[in-house]
C-alpha cells in the first residue's frame, strides 16, 4: 500500500513541521477516505513567516530588485505553473473533489494572471504634481505596502491566490499565504514552484492551519500591513476585528447569492445552459454560483423543461474520470447544510422538480437539484448553498425582476439573458452586484476586476486597479530655491 503524502509548511525558503507538532488529515471527497496529511502552523510559525517577510523587504536581493526584475520572476512562475498545471490540477482534484477537467484547465489559465501582473510590474507610475508653489518640485511615488497576509479558501485556490499574489509581488511586497485547512495540498505544491522561480527566501511563505493556531495570529499580527481575504462573511467579521489590532489595509471577497435573470426574448437554449453552467459548475461550490434563477413567467415552463432534460444527462462520479460532469462536494458538512435548507424550502412550499437528495455511496455526493417557488423568502433563495442546488422563481415585469434580483444581502455576481440591447444596458446598470454577465456567465480575465457589495465584501481583485491596493503613495517635496 502506497504511503500517504505528508505536506510541511513553507516558511522563509525552508520546509518545516509546525512548532507545536500538530498534524491534520486531508480527506478525498470522492471516497471519504484520508489520502494525505499536512503540518499545521502554530503562532510561533506565523511569527517566523511574518518576520521573514519583514526582513526580506529590507534585503537588497528583493528591495533593490528592479520592477522589471520582479516581472521576470513572475513570468518564470507563470511558465512553471503552466508546465505543471496537469499535475497540480490532479492533486487539487483528489484533495477537493473538483473535476480534473476544471482544476487542470483553471490552473493553466491562472498562469496568465501572473503574466498580466509581470507586465504591469514596471508600469506602476507616480506623477509630477503641478503644485501651486513656484519654488517646489513635487512628485508622488508608489511604494510597496509591506507585509501582506493573503488568505484563500479551498474552492478556487489557484485562481484566488493569483489575484492576490500577482499584484502583491509585482508591487514589491512580501506575502504570507494562508491556505485553507480544507484541501491545502495544491497550495503547498505551488510553494515548490515559487521557490523554483527564484524568489528570494521570505518573499513568499505558505502556511495552513486552524483559526487559533494560524488565521487569528496572522490577521492580528502587528507586522502585517495588508490583509487580502476571500471566504465567508462570518469569518470576515473576525478578520476585520483582528485588523483593528494592526490597522492593516483590508479587502474582503466574500460569498454571494447571485441572480440570473431570463427574459422572454432571450435565446432560451443559451439561458438554460447559462443557468446550468453558472450553478452546477464546480458542483455549485463557487461564490458566484447563479443559484437564483429568475425567469419571466411566460417562458418558465420551457426553461424548466430544458434544464431538467439536461440535468437528466448529468453524470455524477469520480472527478478524475473525464466522463464525469459533477463530482463530490468538499466536506460532509456541506451535505448536511444543503439537506437542512431543502427541508426548510419544502416546508415553505417550494417544489423539488429534480434531485433533492444526497447519494447513498462513499464520498460527499449530492444529486443536482432543481426547485421552483413563488415565495421570495424561500430558504434556498436566501442562503449561499455552496452545492448543486438551483431555485427558479417567476417574474412578470422588468421592474419586478430587478427588485427580486436586488432583494439580497449579497452583491457579488449577477447575470441576465435577453436579446434586447437596451434592456441589457438598463438592467445591468440597476443590478446591485460587482459583476454582471449578459448572455454569458462565469467568464473571467486577468484584465477584468471583480468584487462585491454588501455582504459580498469590499475591494476589487484582478485588473489594473488591484495593483494599487498593494502600494502606498509617498509625496516628495523638493525645494528648488537657493534662498534660505
Please give the DSSP secondary-structure letter assigned to residue 258.
-
Pairing of strands 410-411, 453-454: antiparallel
- Best CA proximity match to 290, nearest among 419, 385, 158: 385
- Higher confidence at residue 465 or residue 344? 344
Per-residue pLDDT tens over the stretch 205-258: 999 999 999 999 999 999 999 999 999 999 999 999 999 999 999 999 999 999
Q: Are 312 and 476 in contact (CB under 8 A)?
A: no
Burial 17-56 (b: 16+ CB within 10 A, else e): bbbeebebebbbbbbeeebbebbbbbbebbbbbbbbbbeb
Place of cell 488568505: 151
Q: Are 306 and 417 in contact (CB under 8 A)?
A: no
Q: What are phi and psi of 374, to 5 degrees?
A: -110, -5
SS3 93: helix
Q: What pTM was estimated for this model as a whole? A: 0.96
- Number of helices (H), then strands (E), belonging to the chain: the values are 15, 23
**Ramachandran category for residue 151: left, alpha or beta (phi over 0 → left; psi -120 to 50 → alpha):** beta
Retrieve residue 196's grid coordinates: 523554483
Per-residue pLDDT tens over the stretch 418-456: 999 999 999 999 999 999 999 999 999 999 999 999 999
pLDDT at 2: 65
Distance, CA of 259 to CA of 242 (rounded, Å) = 32
Per-residue pLDDT tens over the stretch 127-170: 999 999 999 999 999 999 999 999 999 999 999 999 999 999 99
Instruction: Say yes or no to pLDDT of 322 above 60.
Output: yes
For 141-206, give the DSSP string.
Answer: EEEE--EEEEE--STTHHHHHHHHHHHHHHHT-EEEEEE-SSS-HHHHHHHHHHHHHTPPTTSEEE
pLDDT at 131: 96
Distance, CA of 260 to CA of 410 (rounded, Å) = 14
pLDDT at 465: 87
| Averaged confidence pLDDT in the chain | 96
Catalytic residues: 253, 287
Instruction: Say yes or no to pLDDT of 1 above 60.
Output: no
Mean pLDDT score, 473-480: 97
Helix/strand/coil percentages in the chain, nearest 5: 40, 25, 35
Distance, CA of 287 to CA of 325 (rounded, Å) = 19
- Best CA proximity match to 98, nearest among 338, 326, 362, 334: 326
Per-residue pLDDT tens over the stretch 371-406: 999 999 999 999 999 999 999 999 999 999 999 999
pLDDT band at 305 (very low <50, low <70, confident <90, very high): very high
Amino acid at each position: 500500500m502506497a504511503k500517504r503524502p505528508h505536506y510541511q509548511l513553507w516558511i522563509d525558503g525552508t520546509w518545516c513541521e509546525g512548532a507545536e507538532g500538530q498534524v491534520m488529515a486531508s480527506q478525498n471527497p470522492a471516497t471519504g477516505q484520508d489520502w494525505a496529511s499536512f503540518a499545521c502552523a502554530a503562532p510561533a510559525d506565523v511569527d517566523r513567516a511574518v518576520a521573514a517577510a519583514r526582513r526580506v523587504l529590507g534585503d537588497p536581493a528583493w528591495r533593490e530588485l528592479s520592477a522589471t526584475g520582479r516581472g521576470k520572476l513572475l513570468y518564470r512562475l507563470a511558465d512553471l505553473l503552466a508546465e505543471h498545471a496537469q499535475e497540480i490540477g490532479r492533486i487539487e482534484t483528489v484533495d477537493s473533489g473538483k473535476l480534473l477537467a476544471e482544476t487542470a484547465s483553471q490552473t493553466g489559465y491562472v498562469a496568465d494572471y501572473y503574466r498580466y501582473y509581470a507586465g504591469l510590474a514596471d508600469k506602476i507610475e507616480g506623477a509630477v504634481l503641478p503644485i501651486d508653489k513656484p519654488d517646489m518640485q513635487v512628485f508622488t511615488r508608489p511604494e510597496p505596502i509591506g507585509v501582506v497576509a493573503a488568505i484563500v479558501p479551498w474552492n478556487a485556490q489557484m485562481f484566488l491566490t493569483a489575484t492576490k499574489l500577482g499584484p502583491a509581488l509585482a508591487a514589491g511586497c512580501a506575502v504570507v499565504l494562508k491556505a485553507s485547512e480544507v484541501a491545502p495540498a495544491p497550495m503547498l505544491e505551488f510553494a515548490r514552484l515559487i521557490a523554483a522561480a527564484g524568489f528570494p527566501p521570505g518573499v513568499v511563505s505558505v502556511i495552513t492551519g486552524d483559526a487559533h493556531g494560524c488565521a487569528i495570529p496572522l490577521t492580528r499580527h502587528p507586522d502585517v500591513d495588508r490583509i487580502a481575504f476571500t471566504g465567508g462573511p462570518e469569518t470576515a467579521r473576525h478578520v476585520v476585528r483582528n485588523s483593528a489590532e494592526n490597522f492593516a489595509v483590508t479587502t474582503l471577497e466574500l460569498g454571494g447569492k447571485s441572480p440570473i435573470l431570463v427574459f422572454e426574448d432571450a435565446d432560451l437554449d443559451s439561458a438554460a445552459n447559462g443557468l446550468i453552467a453558472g450553478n452546477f459548475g464546480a458542483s455549485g461550490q463557487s461564490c458566484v454560483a447563479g443559484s437564483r434563477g429568475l425567469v419571466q413567467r411566460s417562458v418558465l415552463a420551457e426553461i424548466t423543461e430544458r434544464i431538467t432534460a439536461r440535468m437528466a444527462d448529468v453524470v455524477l462520479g469520480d472527478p478524475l474520470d473525464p466522463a464525469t460532469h459533477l463530482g463530490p462536494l468538499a466536506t460532509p458538512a456541506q451535505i448536511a447544510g444543503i439537506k437542512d435548507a431543502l427541508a426548510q424550502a419544502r416546508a415553505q412550499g417550494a417544489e423539488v422538480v429534480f434531485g433533492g437528495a444526497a447519494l447513498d455511496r462513499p464520498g460527499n455526493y449530492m444529486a443536482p437539484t432543481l426547485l421552483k417557488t413563488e415565495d421570495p423568502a424561500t430558504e434556498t433563495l436566501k442562503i449561499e448553498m455552496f452545492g448543486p442546488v438551483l431555485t427558479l422563481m417567476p417574474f412578470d415585469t422588468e421592474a419586478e425582476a430587478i427588485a427580486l434580483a436586488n432583494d439580497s444581502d449579497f452583491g457579488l455576481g449577477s447575470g441576465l439573458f435577453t436579446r434586447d440591447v437596451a434592456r441589457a444596458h438598463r438592467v445591468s446598470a440597476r443590478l446591485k452586484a460587482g459583476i454582471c454577465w449578459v448572455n454569458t456567465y462565469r467568464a473571467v480575465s486577468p484584465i477584468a476586476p471583480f468584487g462585491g457589495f454588501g455582504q459580498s465584501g469590499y475591494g476589487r481583485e484582478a485588473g489594473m486597479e488591484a495593483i494599487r491596493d498593494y502600494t502606498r503613495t509617498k509625496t516628495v517635496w523638493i525645494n528648488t530655491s537657493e534662498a534660505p
